[in-house]
Structure 1
Amino acid sequence: MRIDLDILQQWIPIGGRVLDLGCGDGTLMRSLADNRQVTGYGLEIDAEQITTCISRGVNVIETDLNQGLDNFQNDSFDTVIMTYSLQVMRRPDQLIDEMLRVGKECIVTFPNFGNIRTRSYLMLRGRMPVTKQLSHQWYDTPNIHFCTVHDFDALCEEKNIRILHREVVTERFPDKQLKGLLPNLFGETAIYHLAK
Structure 2
Amino acid sequence: MTDLVHASPRHPTPEFPDRIDLQLVAEMIEPGARVLDIGCGDGQLLLLLETTRGVDGRGIELSQAGVNECVAKGLAVVQGDADHDLVDYPANAFDYVVLSQTLQATYDPRGVLEHLLRIGRRAVVSFPNFAYWRLRWQILFRGRMPVSSHLPCTWYETPNIHFCTIRDFVALVDEIGATVVRSVTLDGSGNRLPANLPLPLRNTLGEQAVFLLERGQKGKG
> Which residue number in structure 2 is paired with residue 22 of structure 1?
39
Is the 2:193–2:206 contact (alpha carbons within 8 Å) kept by the matching residues of 1? no
Conservation of the 8 A alpha-carbon contact between 2:139 and 2:146:
yes
Match of 1:145 in 2: 162
Residue of 63, 66, 69 corresponding to 1:52: 69
Find out whether 1:187 has 2:209 as its counterpart.
no
Deviations 1:149-187 (A, max 9, x none): 1111111111111000111112439x8668845110000
Separation in structure 2 between the aligned mates of residue 114 and residue 68 of structure 1, nearest angstrom: 30
| Correspondence list, 1:1-196, <5 A | 1=17, 2-172=19-189, 180=197, 182-196=201-215
Please tell me whether the aligned partners of residues 178 and 186 of structure 1 are also in contact (alpha carbons under 8 angstroms): no
The 8 Å contact of residues 68 and 95 in structure 1, kept in 2 or not, is answered as no
Q: 2:81 is matched by which residue type in structure 1?
A: D
Aligned residues: CA RMSD: 1.6
Greater shift after overlay, 181-190 or 12-21? 181-190
- Residue identity matched to 1:43: I
Deviation at 1:71, TM superposition (A): 2.3
Count of equivalent residues: 195
Amino acid in structure 2 at the alignment position of 1:187: G
Change (3 A) 1:176 1:190: closer
- Contiguous gaps of at least 5 residues in structure 2: 1-16, 216-221
TM-score (norm 2): 0.84
Give the 3-state SS of the residue equivalent to 2:99 in structure 1.
strand
